[in-house]
Amino acid sequence: MSSASLSSALPPTASASAGSRCNPHLRIPKTLFTFHHPHHHHHPFLLRVTNETSRTEVSTTDPTNERLESDKIVDGMDFGELCNEFECISSPLVESTARQLVRDILELREGNRALGTYAVSVKYKDPVRSFTGREKYKRPLWITGALENPTVRVQEMVMLSTSVLNIKWTIQGKPKSFVAGIGGDLIIRVNSQFTLNQISGQVIEHEELWDLSSSSIIAQAFFWTSRRLFATVEAAKDLADGAKDLSTRFSTKQENTEVYPDPSGDPTKFFQRDDGFQRDVYQIALFLAVLYFVVQFLRTTL
């Protein structure tokens, strides 16, 4: 599939005659995004986008404004050849996932993030934390808790293949710590790579890399300290959730097997099994795990 191009000269009705895989060409008013592209008709594979705000501003009087402002970032992308003469190797859902991911990034979405974009067992990894499971995407972001009025800019968005999406974006904001604030704004250049299921379009792997070379030494120290502390707290939450799930499963099993027949063979005799020891083992294991993460955090920061 060739690259979709953005044109403000086409009227909105032109989209009705477009192919089923082409993006709609709409008349777009002046917005927060600045597109840099050559004047010829065929765009390069990379789409470079600049956004000078931390959120996508949505007009309350125009319900289609949010879709236009987020979707137009993806309109010029090349998603590769989804189908050839013999078979389809990818799904149109890959494109809709890309639109949702960039919307979540620009708006710094937390609790209202579209979890359907991620597979149930999605794997996440960054330099200080990793986890499995999309439910953890519901938790608050480190950005909103550590920075004042953070801004987000998307520089590049490209499909490295029909199943791998790469987004380069920048976070900038003043640390909420008074001491760290002396070092000026914290600038983080993020490289997010998403591996997508080619059929469902869902994210199955998500990896992030950070570049802090544009920040001062003080700002970098604040980032790594606060980020590791954040990762430690999140890991403790993971353990607590895991213990809770295990306890729930065990309780459900106990409800079904609370009374056991006498193994001697007498069907009229029953006895109950004491599970107090097993509960104590779970509690001790949870305490040791939390203690381990606290010790590791102190070793890396002191």
**CATH code assigned at 157:** 3.10.450.50
The verdict on residue 269 lying in a domain is yes
pLDDT of residue 10: 42
Same domain as 286, residue 138:
no
Q: Which helix (H) or strand (E) holds 48?
A: strand 47-51
Whose tokens are 């120290």? That residue is: 221
Q: Which amino acid is at 115?
A: L
Do strands 130-132 and 186-196 pair parallel, antiparallel, or not at all (unpaired)? unpaired
Same domain as 204, residue 72:
yes
Considering 164, 186, 215, which residue would you say is the last residue of a domain? Answer: 215
Residue 93, classed as helix, strand or coil, is helix
Same domain as 110, residue 66:
yes
pLDDT of residue 195: 96
Same domain as 181, residue 283:
no
Same domain as 208, residue 242:
no
Per-residue model confidence as pLDDT tens digits over 180-193:
778 899 999 999 99
Same domain as 109, residue 21:
yes
- What residues contact 248, with CB distance under 8 A and at least 6 apart? none
pLDDT of residue 129: 94
Same domain as 190, residue 117:
yes
Considering 215, 246, 279, which residue would you say is the last residue of a domain? Answer: 215
Boundaries of domain holding 53: 12-215
pLDDT of residue 179: 74
Same domain as 107, residue 254:
no
Q: Which residues of 78-101 are buried (b: 16+ CB within 10 A; e: fewer)?
A: bbbebeeeeeeebbebbbebbbbb
Burial class (CB in 10 A: 0-12, 13-18, 19+), 134: buried
pLDDT of residue 238: 87
pLDDT of residue 265: 54
pLDDT of residue 257: 53
Same domain as 29, residue 98:
yes
Same domain as 260, residue 211:
no
Q: In angstroms, rounded to a whole number, what is the distance separating the alpha carbons of residues 247 and 230?
A: 26
pLDDT of residue 186: 94
Q: Which helix (H) or strand (E) holds 169?
A: strand 164-175
The verdict on residue 224 lying in a domain is no
Name the residue among 166, 189, 208, 203 with its Cα closest to residue 77: 166
The verdict on residue 45 lying in a domain is yes
Name the residue among 225, 155, 156, 154 with its Cα closest to residue 186: 225
Same domain as 267, residue 142:
no
The verdict on residue 289 lying in a domain is yes
Same domain as 126, residue 65:
yes
Name the residue among 265, 263, 15 with its Cα closest to residue 7: 15
Considering 164, 185, 215, which residue would you say is the last residue of a domain? Answer: 215
CA angle 180, 233, 182 (to 5 degrees): 0
Residues of the chain with pLDDT under 50: 1-61, 63-64, 66, 68, 270-271
pLDDT of residue 216: 93
State the CB neighbour count (10 A cutoff) for residue 113. Answer: 20
Q: What is the pTM of this model?
A: 0.60
The verdict on residue 79 lying in a domain is yes
Q: In angstroms, rounded to a whole number, what is the distance separating the alpha carbons of residues 205 and 101?
A: 13
The verdict on residue 4 lying in a domain is no
CA angle 158, 74, 190 (to 5 degrees): 50
The verdict on residue 155 lying in a domain is yes
Residue 63, classed as helix, strand or coil, is coil
pLDDT of residue 241: 80
pLDDT of residue 147: 92
Burial class (CB in 10 A: 0-12, 13-18, 19+), 117: buried
Write down how long the chain is: 302
The verdict on residue 6 lying in a domain is no
Number of domains in the chain: 2
pLDDT of residue 7: 40
